[in-house]
Amino acid sequence: MCGIVAGLAQRDISKILIEGLHRLEYRGYDSAGVAVIDPAGELRRARAVGKVRALEDELREAPLSGAIGVAHTRWATHGRPAQHNAHPHLSSERVAVVHNGIIENHEALRGELEGAGYVFTSETDTEVVAHLVDRELCSGLALPEAVNAVTARLDGAFALAVMEQRNPELLVGARQGSPLVVGVGIDEHFIASDPLALLPVTDRFIYLDEGDMVAITPAGIQVLERTGDRDELTPVTREVVRYEHSVEAAGKGEYRHFMMKEIMEQPRVLSRTLAERLDPQGVRLEAFDVSRHSFLAASAGNESGAEGGKQGVDVARLTQLFADVRQVQIIACGTSYHAGMVARYWLEEVAGIPAQVEVASEFRYRERVAAPGTLFLTLSQSGETADTLAALRDIQKLNREGPQAGHYLASLAICNVAGSSLVRESDLSLLTHAGPEIGVASTKAFTTQLVALMLTTLALRQAKGDGQTDDLLSRQLLMRLKDLPHVIEQSLALDGEIAQLAEKFMHRHHTLFLGRGSQYPIAMEGALKLKEISYIHAEAYAAGELKHGPLALIDEDMPVVAVAPMDDLMEKLKSNLQEVRARGGQLFVFADPEVSLKAGEGVHVVTVPGVCRFLAPIVYAVPLQLLSYHVAVLKGTDVDQPRNLAKSVTVE
Ligand code: F6R
């Protein structure tokens, strides 16, 4: 998705902006651009299609410098990837704008502006913003007021950074629906879509609230809240939060790709996600954070001791809330949705609570009925996924309309980014401490989500247990959870064997993935990983479904990957695998040591470390990640930034 980086400094900003763009590359983009106001007071711009490297080549030919600038990586929505569509967009050589999001009413606004004599040079929705700001400036408004007047007319989601040639000491940002943070430096301040862009220059950030604007001058940072029907701007104080990860955490280290680094980090980040969240009695409810305005806050109104706009949870109130949960509605997209699908098995079997899972883009557009006592649980690595956020906002709107509209008990976000919109807008959150995930294909974020979901499942079981002292299943699961990082370590040791196996996939065009029970979502996740980074068509089926259609696809050219842990469905899965083999299908089975499956003609068996059946989905996800990684490397694709994809999907 588009990335914004902008700043006002006491030195040349252009190198900081280009470094920031490199750090935003992981989000996915097709062109990049930068504009500065140079020491002579001229607005100068450079744009290039392709990687940030192409922009750098252009800048080597025609360097630009200045103390204020805006820069952008574009992921095309309106208008093909082309230099004239790349941001920044200018109006009258006076205004420069970069934008993330979609302006839904851009066609009507474009017609109006063309009628007023503005000439458009791109097919983008963004260009209307530049011309609208210019028009407001011409009418006598100052830049912050002009941007405010313009944003009041925009429908859709956006984050903006705007500067004006006549005023090289003022940078304005606005956020509505798309993420934007302010980087707080010493005598220099910045705006970006993501803190990662600014880590070389600061580790202190202000996470803007929905609807906030910010004005940056040499005198400092002023966050502005829109009040009084949005046309007044009132200064407001927002907390400055220290970023918890180091610059190195966002680097590749010794690895060739971020994806491999992130796969290998899993034992450590799973330990971190578990750390201090378990005690001998079970899951510590203090692990759950509450947002500033949550009814579950330890003492409403007291914001001290809060990290990132968070404060302590009222444990008694949370215990009661969890005890009241009668159903869980899980909402997520992509890989996070697969984590939710695994959790449904856990919630129903371990906590005895019915659960439903749905992709956010479907949930938000249908009429729904919430059963009484429904906990609304969102899952997201980034916490900025537009569809997931929109689903949360939808149910919050329903809740405000009252119980007759279908009341949800509370919203819980399981998320990897502390200051993200999802975390700040949910009643409750549980952070997955995966650290920055840069590879587009989610790996460590997924397995840490699963751990957080198991913790949530156990917390719900505990709350329903009415002080039951000897809960054998909980005790066993807690013990196994503590051992999990070690088991993951063992499954990472399969890397060499899997790298060899990958050669058998590199010339294939299709692959089937099979699993049963809670491994069915793992098969889905394996198929998603393979298709997104190796571009091999891959489909997952619940193995029992094979005979209802997909069996027709099986022949000697069809590799079939199966996940086979030791569980009650093992024998049934084996029969399904026989059905494949009988039709000449090539089997690649990731199996528990106790599953008696013999390798032989057309049957490849990779033995996965033994693990209890509940935690098996977490362990089996890892070899499938390794498989897709090695196939992609053999095929020579762009592993970390696969074509057409973006890391943080902030548009619908
Ligand atoms: C695939 C992948 C995506 C994301 C999806 C949701 O590897 O990463 O499918 O899971 O775009 O993103 P988040 O989790 O940030 O809401």
Identify whether 612 is a catalytic site residue. Answer: no
Structural domain range at position 64: 2-243
Note the pLDDT of residue 333: 97
C-alpha 542/C-alpha 555 separation (Å) is: 19
| Sequence letter at residue 94 | R
Task: Give 348: exposed, middle or buried? Use CB within 10 Å, 0-12, 13-18, 19+.
Answer: middle
Note the pLDDT of residue 230: 59
Q: Which of 441, 472, 492 is the last residue of a domain?
A: 492
Grade residue 466 by pLDDT with cuts at 50, 70 and 90: low
For tokens 């980034």, what's the residue? 382
Per-residue pLDDT, averaged over 143-147, amounts to 96
Task: State which ligand 1 atom lies nearest to the alpha carbon of 443.
Answer: 7
For tokens 């090289």, what's the residue? 168
Residues 587, 470, single domain; the answer is no
Note the pLDDT of residue 403: 64
Task: State which ligand 1 atom lies nearest to the alpha carbon of 337.
Answer: 10
- Residue 6: which of 133, 189, 151, 143 has the closest Cα? 189
Task: State which ligand 1 atom lies nearest to the alpha carbon of 529.
Answer: 7
Is 641 inside a domain boundary? no
Q: Tokens in use for 295?
A: 């009814």
Per-residue pLDDT, averaged over 386-396, amounts to 93
Note the pLDDT of residue 308: 44
Tell whether the model's pLDDT for residue 359 goes beyond 50.
yes
Q: Which of 243, 264, 281 is the last residue of a domain?
A: 243
Q: Tokens in use for 382?
A: 């980034």
Residues 374, 301, single domain; the answer is yes
Task: State which ligand 1 atom lies nearest to the alpha carbon of 445.
Answer: 14
Note the pLDDT of residue 468: 60
Pairing of the two strands 289-291 and 428-431: antiparallel
Note the pLDDT of residue 438: 92
pLDDT per residue as tens digits for the range 297-353: 887 544 433 444 456 889 999 999 999 999 999 999 999 999 999 999 999 999 999
Note the pLDDT of residue 406: 65
Catalytic residue among 2, 333, 415, 612: 2
Structure-model confidence comparison of residues 413 and 156, the more confident one: 413
| Sequence letter at residue 650 | T
Of 380, 425, 448, 522, the one to substitute when testing ligand 1's pocket (max ligand atoms within 8 A of C-beta) is 380
- Average confidence score pLDDT of the chain: 92
Per-residue pLDDT, averaged over 195-206, amounts to 94
Residues 365, 415, single domain; the answer is yes
Task: Judge if the upstream peptide bond of residue 88 is cis by omega within 30 degrees of 0.
Answer: yes
Note the pLDDT of residue 507: 94
Is residue 35 within 8 A of residue 90, CB to CB? The reply is yes
Phi and psi angles of residue 274, each rounded to the nearest 5 degrees, phi first: -85, -25
Reduced DSSP (H G I as helix, E B as strand, rest coil) percent helix, strand, coil of the chain, to 5: 40, 25, 35
Residues 434, 285, single domain; the answer is yes
Cα 482 to averaged position of ligand 1 atoms, centre (Å): 27
Residues 206, 94, single domain; the answer is yes
Note the pLDDT of residue 404: 63
Note the pLDDT of residue 353: 96
Note the pLDDT of residue 370: 85
- Count of other CB atoms within 10 angstroms of residue 451: 28
- Residue 616: which of 551, 567, 577, 581 has the closest Cα? 567
Residue ID of nearest Cα to ligand 1 atom 16:
380
C-alpha 519/C-alpha 624 separation (Å) is: 12
Residues 464, 350, single domain; the answer is yes
Residues 390, 331, single domain; the answer is yes
Task: State which ligand 1 atom lies nearest to the alpha carbon of 422.
Answer: 16
Of 330, 333, 379, the one to substitute when testing ligand 1's pocket (max ligand atoms within 8 A of C-beta) is 333
Cα dihedral 646, 647, 651, 652, rounded to 10, equals 90
pLDDT per residue as tens digits for the range 246-294: 766 778 889 999 999 999 999 999 999 999 899 888 899 999 999 867 7
Structure-model confidence comparison of residues 88 and 574, the more confident one: 88
Residues 278, 403, single domain; the answer is yes
Phi and psi angles of residue 203, each rounded to the nearest 5 degrees, phi first: -120, 15
Note the pLDDT of residue 377: 98
Cα 628 to averaged position of ligand 1 atoms, centre (Å): 16
Structure-model confidence comparison of residues 646 and 557, the more confident one: 557
C-alpha 493/C-alpha 442 separation (Å) is: 20
Note the pLDDT of residue 229: 65
Grade residue 132 by pLDDT with cuts at 50, 70 and 90: very high
Residues 273, 163, single domain; the answer is no
- Of the listed ranges 125-134, 252-261, 395-404, 607-616, the least confidently predicted one is 395-404
Is residue 33 within 8 A of residue 46, CB to CB? The reply is yes
pLDDT per residue as tens digits for the range 224-248: 998 766 578 899 999 899 987 776 6
Task: Give 26: exposed, middle or buried? Use CB within 10 Å, 0-12, 13-18, 19+.
Answer: buried
The dihedral region occupied by 309, where left means phi > 0, alpha psi between -120 and 50, and beta the remainder, is: left
Cα 332 to averaged position of ligand 1 atoms, centre (Å): 8
Cα 381 to averaged position of ligand 1 atoms, centre (Å): 7
Residues 445, 521, single domain; the answer is no
Is 354 inside a domain boundary? yes
Per-residue pLDDT, averaged over 423-450, amounts to 95
Output the ligand 1 site: residues, CB below 6 A: 333-336, 380-382, 385, 388, 441-442, 528, 532, 649
The tally of domains found in the chain comes to: 3
Catalytic residue among 310, 529, 574, 647: 647
Rg of the chain, C-alpha, whole Å: 26
Cα 388 to averaged position of ligand 1 atoms, centre (Å): 10
The CATH number given to whatever domain includes residue 10 is 3.60.20.10
Note the pLDDT of residue 567: 85
Task: Judge if the upstream peptide bond of residue 550 is cis by omega within 30 degrees of 0.
Answer: no
Is 517 inside a domain boundary? yes
Helix H or strand E encompassing 354: none
Is 598 inside a domain boundary? yes
Residues 31, 60, single domain; the answer is yes
Residue ID of nearest Cα to ligand 1 atom 3:
334
- Residue 503, strand partner residues: none
Note the pLDDT of residue 303: 42
Q: What pTM did the predictor assign? A: 0.86
Cα 578 to averaged position of ligand 1 atoms, centre (Å): 34
Of 27, 75, 358, 382, the one to substitute when testing ligand 1's pocket (max ligand atoms within 8 A of C-beta) is 382
Tell whether the model's pLDDT for residue 598 goes beyond 90.
no
Tell whether the model's pLDDT for residue 388 goes beyond 90.
yes
- Residue 448: which of 627, 618, 310 has the closest Cα? 618
Note the pLDDT of residue 70: 98
- Count of other CB atoms within 10 angstroms of residue 587: 20
Q: Which of 438, 457, 492 is the last residue of a domain?
A: 492
Is 644 inside a domain boundary? no
C-alpha 154/C-alpha 172 separation (Å) is: 17
Residue ID of nearest Cα to ligand 1 atom 5:
334
What's the angle, vertex CA 13, arms to CA 8 and CA 16, rounded to 5?
A: 110
Residues 407, 528, single domain; the answer is no
Identify whether 464 is a catalytic site residue. Answer: no
The CATH number given to whatever domain includes residue 471 is 3.40.50.10490
Per-residue pLDDT, averaged over 492-508, amounts to 96
Cα 31 to averaged position of ligand 1 atoms, centre (Å): 22
